[in-house]
Amino acid sequence: MKTVLANKLRKNKKGFTLAELLVVVAIIAILVAIAIPVFNSATKKAEEAVEVANARSTYAEGMVQFISSGTQKLEKKYNGKTYVFECDDKGESWSVTVNGTKKYDSFDNINIDGDTPTPSPSSK
């Protein structure tokens, strides 16, 4: 009797077939393939935002030093990048250079995410 009952329970027990499991794995793989570029894009935008924030910080500190002591050049390091602030003798014209290549001379029209204005670097 016990054996007959055990056999009936085994026959009624349902599980997933191999095909169903493969479909689930395929769906998860597709979702991962879609998600990875989105995360990479978000990471790049965040790095750009950090660079702009560091350039603005260097600008602000450079202007404070220029106003208080007349210093026309300031060099700062953030996260392994070198930010150099330079201005003319009147403080009217200025620029912030990042690692000697990217140059900011305005923070009016920088656009990182496509929606909000943020400074775009000008070429050196």
pLDDT of residue 58: 92
Q: Does pTM top 0.75 for this prediction?
A: no
What pLDDT does residue 90 have? 84
Query: According to the model, what pLDDT value does residue 100 have?
Result: 86
pLDDT tens for each residue of the chain, 124 residues long: 567 666 666 666 678 899 999 999 999 999 999 999 989 989 999 998 999 999 999 999 999 999 999 889 999 999 899 999 999 888 788 889 999 887 888 777 665 554 444 444 554 4
Q: List the one residue out of 4, 7, 103 whose CA is nearest residue 52.
A: 103
Provide long-range contacts, Cβ within 8 A and 24+ apart, for 42-45.
45/112, 45/113
* Beta-bridge partner residues of 84: 75, 97
Q: Determine the Cα angle at 47 with ends 63 and 56, to 5°.
A: 10
Domain locations along the chain? 17-104
